[in-house]
Amino acid sequence: MQADHHSSSPTPFTPLCLESIRQELATFAAERDWQQFHSPRNLLLALLSEVGEAADIVRWQGEAEPQVPLEQQQEWAHELADILIMLVRLADRSGVDLPQAYAEKLAIVRQRYSIEGFRGSNRKYR
């Protein structure tokens, strides 16, 4: 993680593709015989729980943009990793090619929210 955790500049990711993450998680689950518990329903509920845990870190901070307290940066990073883990497992167990779905959805969103019509605007879902 970068030293300035509250800056608006992007943090570069470590190069790691979703397919390698998917494979590693599938192996991890198979080694533990957890596929029986990893139904799409259960994974979705687990994903929602992880999102709730991340939300707890920034809850009750007022209406301003939430900031992650410096002493909770590691916990925040781990909660985001948990969210990624559950999302990738959910996509895998649901038969969704997540990178392909992302590319398709981004194309739809780009068309729906043109730069000319929506630059600097928070209008959505018309």
Q: Is residue 12 part of a domain?
A: no
Pull the structure tokens for residue 112: 């729906």
Kindly tell me if the per-residue pLDDT of 125 is higher than 60: no
Q: Is residue 28 part of a domain?
A: yes
Q: Is residue 35 part of a domain?
A: yes
Task: Give how far Cα 54 sits from Cα of 61, 72, 84, 115, Å.
Answer: 13, 11, 12, 31
Note down the domain range covering 33: 18-59+70-118
CATH number of the structural domain spanning residue 93: 1.10.287.1080
Pull the structure tokens for residue 123: 């209008």
Confidence of residue 4 (pLDDT cuts 50, 70, 90): very low
Q: Is residue 88 part of a domain?
A: yes
- The number of distinct structural domains making up the chain is 1
Q: Is residue 123 part of a domain?
A: no
**Average pLDDT score, the chain:** 89
Q: Is residue 64 part of a domain?
A: no
User: pLDDT value at position 122?
Assistant: 83
CA dihedral (107, 108, 113, 114) positive or negative = positive
For 17-73, what is each residue's pLDDT tens digit?
999 999 999 999 999 999 999 999 999 999 999 999 999 998 887 777 668 888 999
User: pLDDT value at position 2?
Assistant: 40
Kindly tell me if the per-residue pLDDT of 10 is higher than 70: yes
Q: Is residue 1 part of a domain?
A: no
